[in-house]
Amino acid sequence: MQGVSRVFGDGSDTQVTALHPTDFAVYPGELVAVVGPSGSGKSTLLTLAGALQRPTAGRIAIAGQDLAALSERQLADFRLQQIGFVLQSSNLIPYLKVREQLTLVPQLAGRGGAAARALADDLLGHLGLSDRAGHYPAQLSGGQKQRVAIARALMNDPGLILADEPTASLDGVRGREVVALLAREVQARGKAAVMVTHDERVLDLCTRVVRLEDGRVLEG
């Protein structure tokens, strides 16, 4: 991000600046934590980084692609190919088994089949979930669901992983396990990752910590 800002509202009396002009970068192998109080701009930063909304001003590039050059349809394709999302509730589909949760992602990109199933099994093995491949989400613990969500985020080999409060529904031990696993995979696979979190207990597992307050980056 270079000089990226986001302003909501039309008139000067109703405008709200969610993010002031900001420079922000994350590199392959890094897991960067973004922390700050509610309303500080963390969610806005994450949705901009995830190409889910466009900035009011400034430039965003991911894997060398300037997002401003893409149409809405191209942005949707770009998100599928280059960005993996891990959300606080895992957002698994209740009626799909674990392996199917993963293979659905490449199917959406037109790359299903045996190769996708093999990749899914490889990821599940790396994350200690091979024995859960045939289980439904209701049969998994909270920590296992988040590990499945991480595996799903890696399925299309994206350059960027975005995690929104991935430990919010977990106890301290399970939350730390999930972030440690995410950090390990990010480093081993050369991904860039950004994690918004309120969980101070996992910050030591991150490469850097960026603090936001009132839409401004204070450090990082």
The CATH number of 26-56+70-219 is 3.40.50.300
Q: Map residue 164 onto helix, strand or coil.
A: strand
Q: pLDDT at residue 183 above 90?
A: yes
Reported as a pLDDT band with limits 50, 70 and 90, residue 151 is very high
Q: How far is it, in rounded angstroms, from Cα 8 to Cα 48?
A: 13
pTM (2 d.p.): 0.90
Per-residue pLDDT, 11: 66
pLDDT of residue 87: 85
Whether 220 has a pLDDT exceeding 60, the answer reads no
Q: Where do the structural domains in the chain lie, given as residue ranges?
A: 26-56+70-219
pLDDT at residue 15, as a whole number: 86
The continuous run of DSSP H or E covering 113 comes out as none
Written as one string, the DSSP assignment of 32-73 is: EEEE--TTSSHHHHHHHHTTSS--SEEE-EETTEEGGGS-HH
pLDDT score, position 205: 96
Mean per-residue pLDDT over the chain, rounded? 91
The answer to whether residues 18 and 42 touch, using CB atoms and an 8 Å cutoff, is: no
Distance CA 104, CA 102 (A): 5
Start-to-end CA distance of the chain, whole Å, equals 14
pLDDT of residue 110: 82
Is the pLDDT at 40 greater than 70? The verdict is yes
Q: Give the bridge partners for 213, in sequence order.
A: 216
Taking Cα atoms as reference points, which of 3, 16, 5, 2 lies closest to residue 55?
5
Among 6-10, 61-65, 78-82, 197-201, the minimum mean pLDDT is found in 6-10
State the pLDDT at residue 111: 81
Considering only 12-16, 20-24, 195-199, which range has the smallest mean pLDDT?
12-16
- The yes-or-no verdict on residue 219 having pLDDT over 90 is no
Gap between the Cα atoms of 88 and 42, Å rounded: 14
